[in-house]
Amino acid sequence: MPVSGCPLPVPLSPQDVDDLLRCGICFDYFSIAVIIPQCSHNYCSLCIRKFLSYKTQCPTCCVAVSESDLRNNRALDDLVKSFNSARRQLCQLALDAPAPPAPP
């Protein structure tokens, strides 16, 4: 099927994206996402720095990590922003919509 030619606006499955944009330490959306280059796992900058001060490994795969290995992963910050702004717009639409008639 020629998906690439699909003319429809395409909402993402929110649950998947939600999962992919969350930090495995705090389970909230990434806040200043950093990548561990040796294993490709991502966390909030603060979350992983706190963790590393206690144990110098990736909390997911246990590869050895030091704080100086961490690098910003800004594409994830941009995706979190884009996700939250779409979310906010949709909620505002819902809040602005007239209330459904009360049941008799």
Q: Which is nearer to Zn ion, 74 or 87 (CB)?
A: 74
Dist. CA 38–CA 49, nearest whole Å: 16
103 binding partner (options a copy of itself, Zn ion, none; Cβ < 5 to 8 Å by kind): none
61 binding partner (options a copy of itself, Zn ion, none; Cβ < 5 to 8 Å by kind): Zn ion
Dist. CA 2–CA 87, nearest whole Å: 29
Q: Which is nearer to Zn ion, 39 or 79 (CB)?
A: 39
Dist. CA 60–CA 76, nearest whole Å: 18
Q: CB 98 → a copy of itself: shortest distance, Å?
A: 16
39 near Zn ion (CB under 5 A): yes
Chain position carrying tokens 């639409």: 93
Hey, is 22 helix, strand or coil?
strand
Report the interface residues with Zn ion, using CB under 5 A. 23, 25-26, 39, 41, 44, 47, 58, 60-61
